Amino acid sequence: LTTASLNKTHDQIMMYMKPSLSLQIVDMMLDFPDRKAIPKQFSDHMDWFEEGTVSDRSLYYPILYNSEFWITYQSLLEVNGTLKESKIEISYQPVTMWKWQLQSQTEENWRKQEAFTGEEDHGNDQLRNMLLDTNPWLLAVTAVVSVLHTVLDMLAFKNDNMD
């Protein structure tokens, strides 16, 4: 459920259906010696096997993550009297730890921003659409040129200040 932000006269609760369910199992080959040594970004998503321990270490289930990273507000389907049927794409895939961390932390930051401002941020949708619609090579070249431009600007500024 989400608050309809387009209605400016009064808030209205509306139900939306997501077009996909993407389950990702995290390929995590780490051996944690103790539960207290696990970083919070891992422990928030971990479920523990409580029936016993093996060699004084706790066992945990693999992290199964419901990724909503690529779902945009434009792709949500409003559930009302006109919706008779719909299709949901279900996918199950392994994901590397670094990719899962990047996606889950970004999603968490977006949720915190929405909770802080009290409204849905469509800037996040613009970022998602840019990543989805743009050629990855063009994105990489743009990033490299931006970094080089920044470095050269810093060197030029340093050179100007030394004179």
**Nearby residues of 20 by Cβ (< 8 Å), 6 or more positions away:** 70, 71, 88, 89, 90, 91
Is 0.95 surpassed by the pTM of this model? no
Per-residue pLDDT of the chain (163 residues; tens, 9 = 90+): 445 555 556 666 778 888 899 999 998 877 777 777 788 888 888 887 776 555 556 678 888 999 888 888 888 888 887 878 888 899 999 999 999 999 999 888 888 888 887 777 677 888 888 888 889 899 999 999 999 999 999 999 988 877 6
